[in-house]
Structure 1
């Protein structure tokens, strides 16, 4: 289990970094550059000559043993898989994804007992990095061969491995997300969760100093890559869910920092904008691509369909039981949205909030149109090429609505919570594959808790 105190301390520090942006004391210790360990002088290597002599002919060629844990690519080609992890030699040479059955992956990634003993204790915030050990090497290798292929902005992470040799905060963020990925693959091995929390603390300790630097063409990619990796870690954070005296999980979204810290991520991207085109930035290709346009076109979103969803989720209408089912939006029996839906509002803040609600409904509709009850299960199966766009759109959705989400959480607004319920439900259904491992726990836990909250609200209204 991840240490709750360590994670809360780290998240609290990140909250301060990205929301308050204080001027940190330059006298704070900066920590030893992690890349120095990878660039250390190599030891001399002595090669022993293999002795020659009479060899038993029967040992010249060993009988073939069927590869029962070989990857799918080798099985299709009918070649023997050497079962190396995380990618076999054939897939590595061809630069292909190496897919195997889930239990095989978990077994091949299980750490040895002596490796778990090398996990460094969680350092104090502001402390220096521990000496490099075999686990660090394993995490770096796992990120390069496996984890980076599961993350959004996929074209960036191969280059980020090189940047991390210069920027320690990015190196620590890479090790953190890699450890979190292994914690997902090996749920029975608590050491990986501890390692992820430890590297998160070190990331934030270093990043708090870096964030006050001037953004330039040479460091803008580092800032953006580190911020995105931290946000992946925030997606896996569910420690704001606590167990009450009755043993039930209590939902207190005010303790979920993902929306508040999303504002800091947006600020970093805004500060990056003026210098992104000087180099140009490695993120430009991904930023110029619009998943929303691709998805709306694939789902054939029409003005009539969008109007139907606006009517179904209209803020001017009371909360209804049928709103818990997206399929009800297509029945045509929902009350039409008033044409003057903001009429009579005297507060500018309230007018802006209602406009934000309508925008969130529009954004959410893009995801909901891909649910099986809307398009049919065969639609998504026939559109696997859309998964990268769906994944990135879902990953950035909470960032784009962070101001609205903070408002509805502070209000405990049931109509806003309904938006979050449908979002997490869509994430659970649409992003259930192994490449979206970072979203599974959050969606699986929050969907039923939000549904229960809405059910209670509807029952009290009767």
Structure 2
């Protein structure tokens, strides 16, 4: 029995697609013994009119459309409510992250057509998505949104690739290509970021701006720092080359001056973290008495002569439940024009909170109400260079001995407290900086006492 298929030769044929390379064969029987295998082109065999249209469900429709069981275009206000003159009320179940995801569709695709995307870029982005973003002290769901946002802002994408390459360079120190790649993407990110801020600044997306700023801080932190051997001359030490404080101060100034000018059509996904600093929780757990804080400030007093013992011994902490210095990181500056009162003294109070958790007798537990305090402590350390006033950063750059002593104990505490591989961005930099600061201060104090 023969099988026949009739086609309209005059029917309009569509342009070939990928589906045209999948073929349909029909087995035809001309006689009882002869069989013929005939090939039917996909473009002819497919009946386009019978294709089922895809129906996209509205999952974030407004309350009016949900109640009327009609499709909502998820606008604000939506088309149905605008046409009917109703008050459009978005669903109350939409979180800040979900609003950010829906807002991405309204952003222009600013990745230039001339940008060359290769497999190495994809590898770096995959590494950031799979590993790096889980180590960046903020909930991974926030960084998931940032990764989607990066496809609309090229400077953010280059910053992500830079941090991913820096992470790989520390995980694979024998591969020198990662460091070079990180430097290339850093230059590209800074150039694009500066151009964005200097041209269409008011249209800058707040979350893209904050994410880029934070990632640049991670990049500065992850710089390995000076590599010194035992025979390295002390004269080669230059505190001004430590960009953690100098660059952090510049980013802070740019951030504070810029945020009020940036349009904010929707709440920032970073807002809960910016409004909830970790210092108060740490101070409540440490229970540092005001008497201990006073001894600590006296130990680091700028008028006190330096000695070698100050590198190895610190004042003891007394814990108290009645007279706790909960505001030890909030120093009320009486004279902001004075570098000591305006920058040095506030830095001592913040350092006191970090040093309280060093391994020692009567050390406060790194758990508070059943929750680990280590992530909060890492956030406090990460933001320490930013939270310090500009005067302290200037003292560090000018190699002020007392400021370098504070910096030495800060890096020493960072090395001890953040020793886990999860804090890859801090440990290497802190270890090297601690070593060269100790060598520098030892030689400096020895020279001063010899006169």
| Aligned pairs for 1:11-410 within 5 A | 131-154=116-139, 155-213=141-199, 215-216=201-202, 219-238=205-224, 241=226, 247=232, 250-270=236-256, 271-273=258-260, 275=262, 279-330=266-317, 351-373=338-360, 375-376=362-363, 379-380=365-366, 385-401=372-388, 403-410=390-397
Listed one character per residue, the Cα deviations across residues 175-216 of structure 1 (whole Å, up to 9, x for unaligned) are 111111111112222222222112112212211211224555
Q: 1:410 & 1:141 partners in 2: Cα distance?
A: 37
Considering fraction of residues, name the structure with more helix: 1
Deviation at 1:328, TM superposition (A): 3.7
**Higher RCO, 1 vs 2 (CA within 8 Å, ≥6 residues apart):** 1
Q: 1:384 & 1:158 partners in 2: Cα distance?
A: 24
Q: 1:175 & 1:43 partners in 2: Cα distance?
A: 32
Partner of residue 447 from structure 1, selected from 434, 437, 441: 434
For residue 113 of structure 1, what is the aligned residue in structure 2?
none
8 A Cα contact 1:215 1:272, kept in partner: no
- Cα 1:282/1:234, change in 2 over 3 Å: same
Deviation at 1:459, TM superposition (A): 1.5
Q: 1:360 & 1:458 partners in 2: Cα distance?
A: 22
Unaligned runs of 5+ in 1: 1-41, 49-126, 332-347
8 A Cα contact 1:428 1:443, kept in partner: yes
1:430 and 2:417 are equivalent in the alignment: yes
Query: Scaled by the length of structure 2, what TM-score is found?
Result: 0.65
Number of residue pairs the alignment of both structures matches: 326
- Cα 1:218/1:234, change in 2 over 3 Å: closer
Query: Scaled by the length of structure 1, what TM-score is found?
Result: 0.63
Q: Output the aligned Cα RMSD.
A: 3.2
Report SS of the residue matched to 2:198: coil
Q: 1:128 & 1:235 partners in 2: Cα distance?
A: 32
Unaligned runs of 5+ in 2: 1-16, 24-111, 319-334
8 A Cα contact 2:218 2:425, kept in partner: yes
